[in-house]
Amino acid sequence: SLSGLTYYAGVVLLGLLLLVIFYVCLVAFLGKSNPLQFLKKIRDVQLLAFSTTSSAAVMPLSLQTAEEELNVDKTVSNFIIPIGATVNMDGTALYQTITTLFIAQAYGLEMSLLNIIVVIVTIVAASIGTPAIPGGGVVILASVLGSVGIPAEGIIIIIGVERLLGMFRTAVNVTGDLTACMVFNTLYGKRLSLANIKTDNKPNLE
């Protein structure tokens, strides 16, 4: 049982690491920034997310880091980060998908490729509504398990490592939010700044 649980946790952590590598590539190619400097500047946000396991609790620090450390336009950060704290749950979606497959295997249930695709689509859609609080992903996971015919009681199998994995996936989630800020700032930041300057300089005719 312990070896199976260790293997499961290792697969989740490997998936989260690959997701961070993908984010770093986006920062380098679309955000046009040094990925190592990016990771260094968001370190405090990641540590706070890791310790609190709540994207909502990290939001003020994420906004401050985006504007002061990453030089993201305030219009971009104020739009991306609040939405990302609720909608951008890539780490949670990856965790829930792997967990669903693990629990299905633990119960000896065979899942076809079509069923796996349905599970992935369902989890990605459900992760959008996942509350940004500690353990919020488990609540959504229980409903997903029930919808695909897997006993929700199977969550008890992974509950021992859920908190640890929750720390890592929350850190990945906030990394994704700040990555989105960098990409959008590169693509639209200058345009928004010019628009704001024109609005500020527009004469008041009243």
pLDDT tens digits, the chain, 206 residues: what are they?
Answer: 678 889 999 999 999 999 999 999 999 998 888 999 999 999 999 999 999 888 888 999 999 999 999 999 888 889 999 888 878 888 888 988 899 999 998 888 888 888 888 888 888 887 776 766 666 677 778 888 887 788 888 888 888 888 889 899 999 999 999 999 999 988 886 665 555 544 555 555 44
- Residue 82: CB partners within 8 Å, gap ≥ 6? 59
Measured distance CA(35)–CA(55) in Å, rounded: 22
Give one DSSP letter per residue of the chain, joined into a string. Answer: -HHHHHHHHHHHHHHHHHHHHHHHHHHHHTS-S-HHHHHHHTHHHHHHHHHH--HHHHHHHHHHIIIIIS---HHHHHHHHHHHHHH--HHHHHHHHHHHHHHHHHTT----HHHHHHHHHHHHHHHTT--SSTTHHHHHHHHHHHHTT--GGGHHHHHHHHHHHHHHHHHHHHHHHHHHHHHHIIIIIHHHHHHHHHHHHS----
| Confidence (pTM) | 0.85
